[in-house]
Amino acid sequence: MDNTFNLLDLITSQRNKGIIIWLCNIGAEKYWNRINAGISDPLEDAIVNRVEEMNILLCRKQDILILREKPAVEYLDKLEKIGFDIPNIVVPENPDQATPISELLLKDDKLLAHLKEIARSNDDVCFAPYAVTRLEEEISIRFNIPMIGSSPKINAMINDKIFNRFIAEELGLPVCEGKVCGSIEEIRQEFHRLTGSLGFSKIIVKEPFGASGKGLYVLENEGRLESTLRIIGRFARKNAEAKWLVEGWYEKKADINYQIYIAGDGSTNVFSIKQQELKDTVYIGSRIPPELTDGEINAIRKYGEQIGGYLYNIGYRGVAGIDSIITTDDVIIPIIEINGRFTLSTYISFLSRIMEGNKIATRYFRVSTKSPLSYGRLLEMLEKEGLDYDNEKKEGVVIYTSGTFAGGFSDGKGFYSGRLFALVSASEVERVNYYVDRLESLIGGGLNEY
């Protein structure tokens, strides 16, 4: 990473400086994970690939955003009216729903030439991918522009949950009770230790890599343990070096995500501390600002700076998202996992620039409809229910992707699947809760009548 580019400054105080070429190559884990790539779901992969649109929330007018497809016009108009900058959006010549965006770009000589010319004719240009794999490294070389991020090898190492625990132990930070297990029998023994003498009601088994709740197994009884061990065992027989992280499940006062930015000069900026809301182990939304004490906020910032210093010393640069918890005993466990890349939380980290200090909640829904959805149709739905974001009052609901629920995601059974990402903003928590409740009721009641 070039030391002269500080991404946080470019997003905040230096928004008129230079050009950022953005790429949201979500799904990078499959390039890092040499152990278990998991089972592919083409429909799910196609939907997730369109999450890339939320990158617009970070863009400036002069920036270049590489997307698989052009977003809905209504979506771009809505974001622009609210106050977000709409960048120059470019798309590959022959996109499809399944191929990762970086692979599409590398096959498109015309688009590569266009981006290379932008880099050649402008002094201040940098490349900011969601994550760095061998593909983004190759793109940076072919652009001949500096990339914000680290080498694929370092990124893969940082995204290893087992290495995350090692970092915490090395720094002397509080960690969850548990251990790294290298066999089925070790997992079984650790389950009995944690649920026996240590009194945990359930445990969690984590594969080294995974995102969005994948590769996690929550085990609450012997039956669940043995059925899960049979699943893990089939894989373990083919991978003698496979390991799993086994930890006790803590009752929590709060799930916290905080972002850190490690600059080329070694400084670490801890930003965007959010309270996450999860359903089991899957992220469904965030609250900004979090309901934490000043002492808790300060402790998290201190932990983030310690972790950032460690990551810098092993060669990591750029954005990292860190999940942590505060237990019901008021113990902060600062590393549950580290994502050495952008996360979905990164893209909503600077909403206060537009929402002017409002309280904010985000929500994520899986949707299934009998006919294709469109962004325009969703706007009509929100307007009819009095939920659509009001620019003057600066409150209401904003749907901040359009392609994740667009027509075309047919499950082959007469339904259209998708994901809906919404943010709710208002000056008071009570008003935010009102909008969230109304929105959840609306989505839960079905969308096909609109």
pLDDT the model gives residue 245: 95
At 32 the pLDDT is: 77
Q: What are the DSSP E strand ranges found in 263-297?
A: 268-279, 282-288
Is residue 141 domain-shared with residue 12, that is, in the same domain?
A: yes
Q: Which of 131, 149, 167 is the last residue of a domain?
A: 149
d(CA 150, CA 156): 10
Say what the pLDDT of residue 240 is. 72
Q: Do 161 and 209 contact (CB within 8 A), yes or no?
A: yes
Residue 294: burial class (beta carbons within 10 Å; 0-12, 13-18, 19+): exposed
Tally of domains in the chain: 4
Residue 155 lies in a domain: no
Residues 24 and 138 in one domain: yes
Say which amino acid occupies 328.
T
Residue 261 and residue 236 share a domain:
no
**In terms of domains, do 330 and 383 share one?**
no
> Would you say residue 163 lies in a domain?
no
Hey, how many other C-beta atoms are within 10 angstroms of the C-beta on 35?
A: 15
CA gap 242, 441 in Å, rounded:
43
Q: Are residues 342 and 387 in the same domain?
A: no
Which of 207, 225, 248 terminates a domain? The answer is 248
CATH of the domain at 203: 3.30.1490.20
pLDDT score at 1: 47
Tell me the pLDDT of the chain (450 aa) as tens digits.
455 679 999 999 999 999 999 999 998 877 876 544 455 677 888 888 999 999 999 999 999 999 999 999 999 999 999 999 999 999 999 888 889 999 999 999 999 999 999 999 998 999 999 999 999 999 999 888 899 999 999 999 999 999 999 999 999 999 999 999 999 999 999 999 999 999 999 999 998 876 655 788 999 999 999 999 998 888 777 777 789 999 999 999 999 999 999 999 999 999 999 999 888 777 889 999 999 999 999 999 999 999 999 999 999 999 999 999 999 999 999 999 999 999 999 999 999 999 988 999 999 998 888 888 889 999 999 999 999 999 999 999 999 999 998 666 677 777 888 899 999 999 999 999 999 999 999 988 766 554
> Distance between the two ends of the chain, CA-based, in angstroms?
48
- C-alpha to C-alpha distance for 200 and 220, rounded to whole angstroms: 9
Residues 222, 258, single domain; the answer is: no
Closest residue by Cα to residue 126 from 266, 13, 7: 7
Of 167, 130, 133, 150, nearest to 309 by C-alpha is 167
pLDDT of residue 212: 58
Strand partners, 255: 276, 325
Q: Do 224 and 265 lie in a common domain?
A: no
- CA 276-159-125 angle, to 5 degrees, is 90
- Check whether residue 101 and residue 228 sit in a common domain: no
Burial tier of 32 (Cβ tally within 10 Å: 0-12, 13-18, 19+): buried
Instruction: Tell me whether residue 198 is in a domain.
Output: yes
Domain of residue 114, residue span: 7-149
> Which of 248, 278, 298 is at the close of a domain?
248
